[in-house]
Structure 1
Amino acid sequence: MTAKVFSENLSPTFSDISGVVIAGGRGSRVGYQQKALLTYKGEPILKPIMHSLTEQTVSVWVNANAELERYHGLTRQLFSDEYQGFLGPLAGMHAAWQYIETDWAVFVPCDNPNLPHDFVNRLLEAYQSQNNPLVVVDDGERIQPLYLLMHRSMQDSLSEAIAKNHLSVNRWVKENAHTTANFADCCPEAFQNMNTLASFAEAEIS
């Protein structure tokens, strides 16, 4: 689907929003394994993330670039980056718009099983206070650029950033009009990603 023009008069609802889990990395911090498929409390960590998004969005997609046959056991709504070379989350976000049918999407990383139950609702509330094509989580200390609500019109901006090799999501968000959603009062672990094999091992024995 082609990019659409963003209008401040847009008023997205849950039925206008797809969920996308970004799982397209190399997994360098976890021994070059697929982090989304690592075991968390007896099941792949991807499962609770997808479950949470299923309850808050109209459909859930997963972005992955390796071992796709293993992902097929969890979902058929799967897509890979259009760019080669594991360019990072911006490439996954860019590719998503070729698959999802809604004009809005929420993006989350593949290593946090503790998404708030009102995650999408808080993003929508923030959008109503300041209408921008990006709404990003602020945890009270800093923005969390991998957790965001995005309008389809941002496709061109994503393409331009990737073409310039400007691959930092944090930089890209700050360079574009965005709204911050305040999650400072949320649970402490709401945006704590599991970045090491040790963190997964600790979860199994806790």
Structure 2
Amino acid sequence: MRFCGSDTVSITGVILAGGRGSRMGGEDKGLVLYQGKPLYQHVLGRLRPQVSRVCISANRNLSVYQQTGLSVITDTLPDFPGPLAGMLAALEKIETEWVVFVSCDTPLLPEDLVSRLWQAKRDAPVVWAKSDGRDHPTLALMHVSLIEPLKSFLIKGERKVMIFLQQAGGHSVDFNDCPDAFNNINRYEDLIAGERG
């Protein structure tokens, strides 16, 4: 990936699609159709040009996700312990120092998400998007040095993404100029609203 000036860095993109989809009636959210194609494909189309390679974090319907030709990473911890488990599994598998995580239910992802997170990170090991006063902790750029702290956090039974990112010394990056970019499809009502919009 080439960013501002002569800075060149390899970043792996990971689409988080490993949840239970409980607010979507238990459906695999990444595979729910939105404007004629699965949600995760909208996200993939926006993320792919921004990173060196893309992987998918998933725990169900693995063969469907594998049809993309992308690497599919499953949680190493049992019982769907949340996004942090997917993040940990990905950090342990990827070959780059940095990974950007995005959720499978944000089809309007900013096309400059990765470069803006990178340019604003300073010395932080993790940064995440924030817009209109709202944090989006599953849209985060993270360094592999956080593997051990994340593992310890999860072993203690902790699950809150925001708490981990703050404890890890991260900070948010403002995307106030594109608030609609982070509208996520959590429920069928969101899906219907998005189709109309």
TM-score by length of 1: 0.88
Residue 188 of structure 2 is aligned to residue 197 of structure 1 = yes
One-letter amino acid matched to 1:132: A
Matches within 5 A, 1:1-206: 15-127=9-121, 130-186=122-178, 188-206=179-197
Map Cα deviations across residues 86-107 of structure 1 (whole Å, 9 max, x no partner): 0000000000023211110000
Greater alpha carbon shift after TM alignment, 69-78 vs 39-48:
69-78
The Cα of 1:131 is off from its aligned counterpart by 1.1
1:140–1:184 CA contact under 8 A, matched in 2: yes
CA distance in 1, matches of 2:111, 2:73: 25
* Unaligned segments of structure 2, at least 5 residues: 1-6
> How many residue pairs get matched?
192
Task: Please tell me whether the aligned partners of residues 46 and 111 of structure 2 are also in contact (alpha carbons under 8 angstroms).
Answer: yes
Mapped contact 1:47–1:74 kept (Cα < 8 A) = no
Indicate if the aligned counterparts of 1:42 and 1:204 stay in contact, CA closer than 8 A: no
Task: Answer whether contact 2:13 2:54 (CA < 8 A) is retained.
Answer: yes
- SS of the residue corresponding to residue 93 of structure 2 reads coil
Counterparts of 2:192 and 2:60 in 1: how far apart (Å)?
A: 23
Aligned counterparts of 1:135 and 1:14: Cα–Cα separation in 2: 19
State how far apart, in whole Å, the 1-side matches of 2:38 and 2:8 are.
26
Which of the pair is proportionally richer in helix?
Answer: 2
Counterpart amino acid of 2:27?
Q
Q: RMSD in angstroms over aligned alpha carbons?
A: 1.6
The equivalent residue for 1:5 is none
1:27 & 1:197 partners in 2: Cα distance?
11
Measured after TM superposition, the shift of residue 205 of structure 1 is: 4.6
Percent identity, please: 37
In the aligned structure 1, how far is the partner of 2:195 from the partner of 2:44?
A: 20
Q: Deviations over 1:157-178 (max 9, x none)?
A: 1101100111100111111211
How far is the alpha carbon of 1:202 from its aligned partner?
3.5
